Amino acid sequence: MELVVQFQVLNQSCQCLAWKPCPVIAWGAESQHVVAGYSDGTIRVFSISRTEMELKMHPHAVALTAIAYSTDGEMILSGGKDGLVAVSSPRTGMTIRVLADHKGSPITVLQCTRKQYRDFGVEGGELWLATSSDRRVSIWASDWLKDKCELLDWLSFPAPAGPEGLDSLPPSLAAFCPWEPGTLVYVGFGMQKEALFYSLCKKQVVEKISLPYFATSLSLSPAARFMAVGFGERFLRLLCCPASDAQDYAGHDDAVHLCRFAPSGRRLLTASYSAVLVWELTG
């Protein structure tokens, strides 16, 4: 529990970051690169082992709000406050594609996952999703080496008339379900307080799990059927899916705005205003 490396960028706030995935052949190895998105629209790639910044790109004109590596680590997907999604190559530093489908609403989530080549009848070995503050989720199939990127599905979730300004609403969050391929989970401001499981094959919601409040954070375990949901009411709910068991945990000093399972699934990291908590999952 000690600080090993620290990178500082003066006069800019880091809005989002992501670890570069390890190549399949180096299973068990630690990733040595982190990409971070900043308030001035820049992206910086840092090498942990060499303790230096390796690359700086400027694909956005506004602050970044979400960032992710492609599953092979060869591309960086970044989303801005204006709803634009950029696809950039960390090898060349070039932005190869800009998608304006979510334009006008901040991107809240970008996530990539592997897929079988002919899944859903489209080419490419990768699925990725983008979620924006206006409760819309787009799902894409891509093959970046062949410059292919195809819209697979487009989801819009209804909601009652909310207070003025999106900042006061709970975030729109989506994630691919690790234990149900072709399924994604969505939480956000809506008609009901619930988590929705949507099947890309059936093109419909296949399961709903009631929640006590609107969620402020979401994470799905890569190792077991566990889902962690954080709330503005300062507690965390751990759900065993299908929703047969739910356990609530207190201990936060404010809204639980981040929760992340470790790749092993044995630990869960949660963050609130001034505290980071690490939970151990037993049994």
Q: Which one-letter DSSP state was computed for residue 219?
A: E
Instruction: Please report whether residue 273 resides in a domain.
Output: yes
Instruction: Please report whether residue 276 resides in a domain.
Output: yes
Instruction: Please report whether residue 149 resides in a domain.
Output: no
Instruction: Please report whether residue 225 resides in a domain.
Output: yes
The predicted-structure confidence for 34-92, as pLDDT tens digits, reads as follows 999 999 999 999 999 899 999 999 999 999 999 999 999 999 999 999 999 999 999 99
Closest CA to 149 of 203, 75, 202: 75
Instruction: Please report whether residue 6 resides in a domain.
Output: no
Instruction: Please report whether residue 190 resides in a domain.
Output: yes
Which residue matches tokens 């296949």?
Answer: 206
Check which CATH number belongs to the domain holding 278 and give it. 2.130.10.10
Instruction: Please report whether residue 57 resides in a domain.
Output: no
Closest CA to 156 of 173, 140, 138, 168: 138
pLDDT, residue 31, reads 66
Question: With bands split at pLDDT 50, 70 and 90, how would you rate the model's confidence at 123?
Answer: confident
Domain that holds residue 206: 179-282
Q: What is the mean pLDDT of residues 219-226?
A: 94
Provide the 10 A C-beta neighbour count for residue 171: 20
Instruction: Please report whether residue 229 resides in a domain.
Output: yes
The count of domains in the chain is 1
The predicted-structure confidence for 229-259, as pLDDT tens digits, reads as follows 999 999 999 999 877 789 999 989 999 999 9
